[in-house]
A and B are shown apart, each in its own frame.
Chain A
Amino acid sequence: MRPLQPSPPTPADAYGAGARRARWRETLAPTGNAGDALFRAALLLAALVLLLLVVSMIAAMAANSRLSLRAFGFGFLTSRAWNPVTGQFGALPFIYGTVVSSLLALLISVPVSLGIAIFLVEQAPRQLARPVAFIIELLAAIPSVIYGLWGIFVLAPVLREHVEPLLARWLGWLPLLQGPITGIGLLTGGVILAIMITPIIAAVVRDVLEAVPVTQREAALALGATRWETTRVVLANAASGIAGAIILGLGRAIGETMAVTMVIGNRPQISASLFAPSYTIASVIANEFTEATGDIYLSALVELGLILFLVTFVVNGAAKLLVWGVTRGTSGTARAA
């Protein structure tokens, strides 16, 4: 509802310079008040500054990776080389490592997060739901480096001594689970990422489930559905929001640096086995950027950063759109994480 409209335009000044000025006035100062106009302009400036920051980041990275873009072109995306001595660089092992570790993390985390969210929204008594939700959100606040340290000192030995030998024994016929077992590799990276993205996915799915109108649940129950069938109805309603949450978690997993670099082995290779060490884009930049001497070396690292930036941008944008699509127009505590 627009308060205090300026005098409505007559047919004569619906077009032309006068009309344009009137439209500008309306945009900048809908209330016709100068103070409001100033406030509005200041907020607009703040929003534009942020936008400008993002655009300038992309521009700076593109400028700095010019050398590498020129030298390797699209071959950069398919080359497996990473040789600072000869100056041959390629992104494929890093893209592989990033994608596989993130997908593995999703595979482990999504059922767990969905379970947590459904439990908190549908099953848990109020007194239990709140502290559990709080603790889960606390997990999201733990710094990445702490996860990395815990990974090296606790998770890697556990995987090496107990989990990976078991997997090799039962499922060793799969090329996915063959090879030497050191506890440091794609599997450990994937597990740590799964632990890190579970709270995010759980929190967003919980909001999305709470945003489903209670009438849906009541209708299902009224038709004689069991608890589980009701939950299925709720999940079907919230499907696009859940997809958004999963993509959000994926976005976080793709960009995660410190925890992953400590447990993934930092080896730019593409191996079929999950026990083998690997390398993600974020890890290689964190490890090698400060010491990279050589213009093309630096340029290749910046180009990797550009690839990561664009991928994260797209993934997060898609997630936000999906979640917004499902939670807008509903009442209550719906908020995107």
Chain B
Amino acid sequence: MSFAQLTRRAVGTLLCAALLTAMINCSGERAGGEIKLQGAGATFPAPLYAKWVSEHGKLNPNVKIDYQSIGSGGGIQQITAGTVDFGASDAPMSDDDLKKAPGALLHIPTVLGAVVITYNLAGVTQPLRFAPDVLADIFLGKIKKWDDQRLKADNPGVALPAADITVVHRSESSGTTAVFTDYLAKVSPAWKEKPGAGKAVDWPVGLGAKGNEGVSGQIKQTPNTIGYIELAYAVQNKLPVALVKNRAGQFVEPSLDAVTAAAAETVAQMPDDLRVSITDAAGASAYPIASYTYILVYREQKDAAKGKALVDFLWWGIHDGEQFAKDLQYAPLPAQVTQKAEAKLKSITANGQPLRQT
């Protein structure tokens, strides 16, 4: 056979194979009744949601869920634009953001997490202790050296070096930043005035790094740094975690129990839309820099089948999914909050019919 004939045969076979595969895929979808759900948002709960997706997939193989961790800001953008079925964000959406959405968006709290203060100090083995005003002044750039009097006062017996403090913060818009700056704004009037709280702020000092991973990496690589990351990243990267003094005056370690304690204080006063900030919580054992993380869904679902699958997935998540939370360094929801989330899920409708009665 000549080369031209061979080429023609090869191309023809490939085309047929491609067509066949396409046909099989299409028919498979229609026959199996597979439902695809797309979600995007916060990087903080991403490991947990990945676990949820895989475990839920084992129980319901015909529901394929894909979660892209692109950041809270991205999640809010995408759900507002309607390109995903559910969004995820650490910080609840502001009223302005909610107005921009084409429908009513519900906030479903899924788990709780802690934002921890981590640092890189050679020769310091015990965890450092930070008071809220000291923390704010470090991030404002007012406390410049590690051996400052105020740091020494809170950490007697620790050999703090006479080195400059290098602050590391997030370079992009992030839910972690939102939680941390929300806390700083509550404990420091100076912080509230100048940088303020938000997903992205004008940091007075510090290096910027991208993502929790970037901040962890930067802190690991550079000595005499301090920064804020999610608890899971500190544990995974074996970074030291500081104790922070809470409103009751106790230096609290960011453990999951301390995070649950922070939530317990505000459960009774949770507003109807479940958007709440639990930073600087009252309570002797509460960790002050904790936060819920939310999944954002529309109350009116356009597609009944997809809506049902989504509601069932979220229902499973806030009940059976919580058992995976502790291993991945997230705190499960308190019981009262689970009940409120259940009520929200039951209010989701498609074509006027609620998708879940029980």
Q: Return chain A residues, CB-CB under 8 Å to B171.
A: 261, 266, 287-288
The stretch that binds A, out of B68-76, B252-260, B319-327, B329-337, is: B68-76
Q: Return chain A residues, CB-CB under 8 Å to B97.
A: 293
Number of interface residues of B (CB under 8 A): 33
Q: Return chain B residues, CB-CB under 8 Å to A157.
A: 221
Does A156 sit within 8 A of B, measured CB to CB? yes
Does B82 sit within 8 A of A, measured CB to CB? no
Q: How far apart are the CA atoms of A219 and B164 in the complex, in Å?
A: 62
Does A81 sit within 8 A of B, measured CB to CB? yes
Q: Is the CB of B210 within 8 A of A292?
A: no
Q: Is the CB of A293 within 8 A of B172?
A: no
A83-B201, A85-B196 known; A293 vs B77 contact (CB < 8 Å): yes
A83-B201, A267-B207 known; A290 vs B70 contact (CB < 8 Å): yes
Q: Is the CB of A153 within 8 A of B208?
A: no
Does B206 sit within 8 A of A, measured CB to CB? yes
Nearest chain B CB to A111 CB, angstrom units: 30
Q: Return chain B residues, CB-CB under 8 Å to A292.
A: 73, 173, 200
Does B283 sit within 8 A of A, measured CB to CB? no
Does A180 sit within 8 A of B, measured CB to CB? yes
Q: Return chain B residues, CB-CB under 8 Å to A265.
A: 207-208
Q: How many A-B residue pairs have CB under 8 A?
A: 87
Q: Return chain B residues, CB-CB under 8 Å to A184.
A: 207, 218, 222
Q: Return chain B residues, CB-CB under 8 Å to A180.
A: 164, 166
Does B190 sit within 8 A of A, measured CB to CB? no
Q: Return chain B residues, CB-CB under 8 Å to A153.
A: 221
Nearest chain B CB to A297 CB, angstrom units: 8
Does A66 sit within 8 A of B, measured CB to CB? no
- Pick the most buried of B171, B207, B218: most chain A CB atoms within 10 A of its CB: B171
Q: Is the CB of A83 within 8 A of B202?
A: yes
Nearest chain A CB to B351 CB, angstrom units: 31
Does B246 sit within 8 A of A, measured CB to CB? no
Does B350 sit within 8 A of A, measured CB to CB? no
B interface residues (Cβ-Cβ under 8 A, vs A): 70-74, 76-77, 97, 164, 166, 171-174, 195-203, 206-210, 217-218, 221-222, 225
Q: List 24 A-B contacts (CB under 8 A).
A: A83-B201, A85-B200, A85-B202, A152-B217, A152-B221, A156-B221, A160-B222, A180-B166, A183-B222, A261-B171, A266-B171, A279-B208, A287-B172, A287-B208, A288-B172, A290-B70, A290-B73, A291-B71, A291-B172, A291-B200, A292-B200, A293-B73, A293-B77, A297-B200
